[in-house]
Amino acid sequence: MRPSETSDRRLLEGCLTPSAVASTRRPNRRRQLIELPLRDPCNLCEGMAGREERWAIIDQSEHTLTVINPWQFEVGQCCVITRRHVATLLDLSAEECGAILVSAQRVAEALVETYQPLGILTFQNNGVFSGQETPHFHFHVVPRQKGSDWGIGPPQLATFEGAGRQRGTSHDPSADAQRRERVRVSARQLVETAELIRSNLRA
């Protein structure tokens, strides 16, 4: 499921240093055991390259970006993503692991200040059978409120049986289409939400 070298260059343009690109080509036995979703081009790399309309950045660091999730299952739901194109937790460097949690805590504090939620949910999926839909590492940070559309825990738990499809087939979210459309927000709303949360980031 590895894209061609040409596709790699196209997807990663503007996202990686030459050394980081090289590191993505190192074999990783642990990763090979996990089936990844098929998505070409990578929508997160497209966003970083400025080719994704529904894209709003809240915060950034050397190794991460914090962006608004285009599907707002909860108002203010966001993701910390790696600048480097890696698929799962198993592919991260030690520096990236540290930067992700620092960024997640930073935006969680801003979410508490912005929305006064009843709780903060964090989760991250590795592979098709965990509910991963995009083959680029992303760590969800979600302010939880009463009466939300999720119930308890991540929404993937409600449809986990649907993950048992034939190996190598594309991820098909059609069963969730109606629900996802209900929480899809416009590009303008994403920008406005990002600006509001950003205003509450600690200096």
| Active site positions, annotated | 138
Place of tokens 């006064």: 116
In this structure, what token pair is assigned to residue 105? Answer: 């805590």
Contacts of 171 (CB under 8 A, 6+ apart): 37, 38, 39, 128, 133
Contacts of 141 (CB under 8 A, 6+ apart): 66, 77, 78, 79, 80, 104, 107, 108, 111, 120, 121, 122
Alpha helix stretches (DSSP H) within 29-176 = 29-32, 43-48, 94-115
CA 97 to chain centre: 14
Enter the DSSP assignment of 158: G
- How buried is residue 146: exposed, middle or buried, by Cβ count under 10 Å (0-12/13-18/19+)? exposed
Contacts of 188 (CB under 8 A, 6+ apart): none
CA 99 to chain centre: 15
